[in-house]
Each structure stands twice: as C-alpha cells, then as structure tokens.
Amino acid sequence: MDEVFLNVFKDPKHILVAVCDRNLLGSTFREGRLKLEVKADFYKGVPASIEEALKAIDSADVINLVGKGIVDAAVREGLADSSAVLHIDGVPHVQIVRL
C-alpha cells in the first residue's frame, strides 16, 4: 500500500488539503529558479493511504500535492489535469484551486 501524509486545514469558509508521498517529507527540491520545500509543518498531518487522501481531496477548495504516487492518482481519477503538473528536480507537484 502506498502511504502518504495527509494534512487538512479548515477555516469557516475553506478547506485546504496538503498531501505528499511519505518518502518526500522534509525534502527540498530545486530546479532553476524553482524551489519546492516539503515542510513537515505543512504536509505532515496523518499517515494515510492514497485512497483516503483522494477522498479528502474531494471536499477541498485548495489542494497541494507533491510526489509521484499522489499526483499520478489525482490525475488518474480526474482530480488534476496532467498539463497542470510541474516537475521540480523530477518531483511532480500540482496545486488546485476550486472556485
């Protein structure tokens, strides 16, 4: 089973879901002027399966995903468009905002 870290932030108007592949937590990736920091204070919520993370993503207004496992799953399920995925030092990253 692929495992990710799932963190859900709620305020009265919005739900933000941050998910990263478990092995990427604490890493920093750089490519040109781009820098992606997979910080524990943002991404480390609870360990979850990719399926559990996809369910959380369904109800979110803002979504931040890092890693091949979760990004590929989101694209496969139609939650993210493959053309919106950035690769920073080979690591896929996508942000989704639902208005």
Among 61, 64, 59, 55, which Cα is nearest to 21's? Answer: 64
Q: Walk me through the domains of the chain, giving residue ranges and CATH numbers.
A: 3-97 (3.30.1860.10)
For residue 2, pLDDT over 90 is answered with: no
Sign of CA dihedral 46, 56, 68, 89: negative
- Answer yes or no: are the C-beta atoms of 6 and 48 closer than 8 Å: yes
pTM of the model: 0.94
Task: Name residue 5's beta-bridge partners.
Answer: 20, 47
Q: Each residue of 11-60: pLDDT tens digit?
A: 999 999 999 999 999 999 999 999 999 999 999 999 999 999 999 999 99
